[in-house]
Amino acid sequence: RFDDRPRWVSAAEHNRTQPTDGWRWYYRYLVRRGERSCEYRDEYMLRRHFTFYSNEFAAHGGLEGDAISNVTSSSSGPQPPWSSAHVCPHFLNVIMLREPLARLRSHVRWIIKVYRTEYGKSYEPFFRGRDADYWRRFAPAAVDNYYIRLLLGEAVFYAPTGSINTTHLEAARLMLLQ
């Protein structure tokens, strides 16, 4: 309903191995989230009597500008694109941070498991003999500074692999304090 599903796999990279089969939830990398305000989310949850929901994507906002140049224009001067990234302040927000290599290993295994479940034996060409460069193309955000990308919103989430720097790290640390 809120379009907060994971966006792990690049459909373009998936298509290099095998044409996409319909539209699966996991190959939505580079698909922008619809604009659903915190107020909309709150009203919807109250109306449906929901007491919990999970955002498995990035912080809200953070769409403005270019995540690489780190600057966008505004009336108050240059701002980084993540300056509008936020969590919904009237919700209790929880993030689980894991040791980075354990998270990466678990994430890669989970993606492989999802593919095995969805494609049966035809999942093997996606993963057999693949190296780190393949994974950077196949699941860019998942294997390159995932937590920073999640915390700083969509522009940073979709930034090219290798472009996240210490400026992004410091901004992500501040985001955790919200």
- What is the rounded average pLDDT for all residues in the chain? 85
- C-alpha to C-alpha distance for 29 and 93, rounded to whole angstroms: 24
Q: Note whether residue 3 is domain-resident.
A: no
- C-alpha to C-alpha distance for 159 and 162, rounded to whole angstroms: 9
- Model pTM? 0.83
Which of 71 and 64 is assigned the larger pLDDT?
64
- Please tell me the number of Cα atoms within 13 Å of 118 on its side-chain side: 16
Mean pLDDT of 22-46: 77
Q: Note whether residue 5 is domain-resident.
A: no
pLDDT band at 104 (very low <50, low <70, confident <90, very high): very high
When divided into structural domains, the chain yields a total of 1
Q: Note whether residue 6 is domain-resident.
A: no
Range of the domain at 55: 11-176
Q: Note whether residue 31 is domain-resident.
A: yes
Q: Note whether residue 32 is domain-resident.
A: yes
Residue 175 contacts residue 85 (beta carbons within 8 Å):
yes
pLDDT of 152 > 70? The answer is: yes
